[in-house]
Structure 1
Amino acid sequence: MTDTLTGRLLVSEALVVPSGLSADGTTIEPAEVRRVPGFVESAFSPLVKAAVDSCLAPVTGGAALGDEGARTGLVLATLFGDTATADLGSRLLASGRVANPLLFYQSVPTTILGVVARDYGITGPTTCVALRGDLRGEALDLVDTLLDDGMDQVLLLGVGLAAEARPARAGARLADDGGPRAAAAAADAAVAFLVRRAGSWPQAAEAAVLPDADEHVPAFGSLAGLVQLYLAVRAERAAAAARAIAVDVGEALGGRRLHLLPEEPR
């Protein structure tokens, strides 16, 4: 990887695991997730909303972003998306029953981001991507690209549901076809980061290099890398002087190293 002197500010972060989790030497406390009106059956949309609310609470206090909303991008990264809605909808279709329009699973990610955009006054670009393997590298690459394209800040969301039988088989099939294999997630989870452009960057600042995602927290499946980043940021915030976190990011033209500096919300 080629180290870059370009850095980003990591303003706030959140991890939501409704059931809580204790695995791989990591303990995550249970978190309350409330139903979102207009969505049914699946935990996917409530997870997204809970992660966003928790991430933006220190920044906005629950209010809209105001003028910053016009220059805020939204990125949602997932492996399979809303598998609960997809599974239920397909079962209804296979049985010959009329499916509820709310079970049209392909609309769920963009629709819940529409709810987020409405609630927080976000009018920048919205992007939903399904990524094979661990989400961290490609998701952060997309965030970095949006910031280079003129956004002042980007809200990144990673979402995964605990793998049931059919999604687990699909993941194994993707791996058998030559794709990267992500461990099955042990629990529903969502992670969120608010990343900003940095006006100036302390180039001499010490950085903690984040290891590959498969070395820690595999219980989170495709979210392992983003959860690992969350845990590293929280550890740096707890330290006397937070260091930047260096993350290897893959891109079409080759790999690079992205520096993320924890910053207190303003």
Structure 2
Amino acid sequence: MTTASKTTTLEHVVWPAEGEREQPPNLPGFTASPFGPIIAHVADRCLSRHWGEPPAPPERAGRTGMVMVSRLGDMATEAAVTSSVDSGTKASPLLFYQSVPSAVLGVVSARWGLGGPVICISPAGDPLAEGVELAELLIEDGSAADVLVVLVELATREGESDRAEALLVTASAPRGEEGGA
């Protein structure tokens, strides 16, 4: 566990991990882009490391929110829709569903039984810092007890890899108290 000023990180995972294949597992309902499957994969890994198998414990699930952070968003879905429009072909209805960044968070939320707020941001500054700051605000104002922060960026150049990370954060315990969950 690492402690920030207002939150404690309960779990932190990075994708792809060393030695891990660079394609996430398929995610039914998502096509033409790795964006949604990457988010679901890294979110599941983070939550599984902390809570085991879904669903989340009932005493935590209803108060666990999610913050998805991406500077560029799902450029692959955007390119697929643009290509369909430019070529005059009919785009798959799934592309419109998955073009909403929070769609995949709904899949994660349903799988884990999460009931907290869901927010997607595209920060101008440091993605990790801004995502954790938003999580802190959700915890501070009582909207959530725990927040899953998922950062994802698709590769933009040849030779780069898609990358993601997820952190499960909770309020830091006041000085002298143990835990925070």
TM-score bucket of the superposed structures, by smaller chain: 0.7 to 0.9
Structure 2 residue 77 is the aligned partner of structure 1 residue 78: no
Deviations 1:42-78 (A, max 9, x none): 1111111110111111222122112311111100000
Relative to the length of structure 2, the TM-score reads: 0.86
Structure 2 residue 49 is the aligned partner of structure 1 residue 58: yes
1:160 corresponds, among 130, 150, 153, to 153
Where 1:64 maps in the other structure, the secondary structure is coil
> Is contact 2:12–2:165 with CA below 8 Å preserved after alignment?
yes
Structure 2 residue 181 is the aligned partner of structure 1 residue 190: no
Shift of 1:195: 0.3
Mark the structure with the bigger radius of gyration. 1
Where 1:146 maps in the other structure, the secondary structure is helix
Structure 2 residue 29 is the aligned partner of structure 1 residue 30: no
Structure 2 residue 126 is the aligned partner of structure 1 residue 134: yes
> Is contact 1:160–1:188 with CA below 8 Å preserved after alignment?
yes
State the partner residue of 1:95.
87
Where do 4+ consecutive residues of structure 1 move more than 6 Å? none
Shift of 1:146: 0.6
State the partner residue of 2:12.
13
Question: Alignment length, in residue pairs?
Answer: 173
Structure 2: gaps (5+ residues) = none
Structure with the larger RCO, 1 or 2 (CA within 8 Å, 6+ apart): 2
Identical aligned pairs, as a percentage?
29
1:98 partner letter? K
> Is contact 1:7–1:201 with CA below 8 Å preserved after alignment?
no
> Is contact 2:9–2:168 with CA below 8 Å preserved after alignment?
yes
1:11 partner letter? L
Where 2:72 maps in the other structure, the secondary structure is coil
> Is contact 1:156–1:192 with CA below 8 Å preserved after alignment?
yes
Where 2:111 maps in the other structure, the secondary structure is helix
| RMSD (CA atoms) | 2.4
2:40 corresponds, among 46, 49, 52, to 49
1:14 partner letter? V
Structure 1: gaps (5+ residues) = 21-27, 166-184, 204-262
Where 1:156 maps in the other structure, the secondary structure is strand
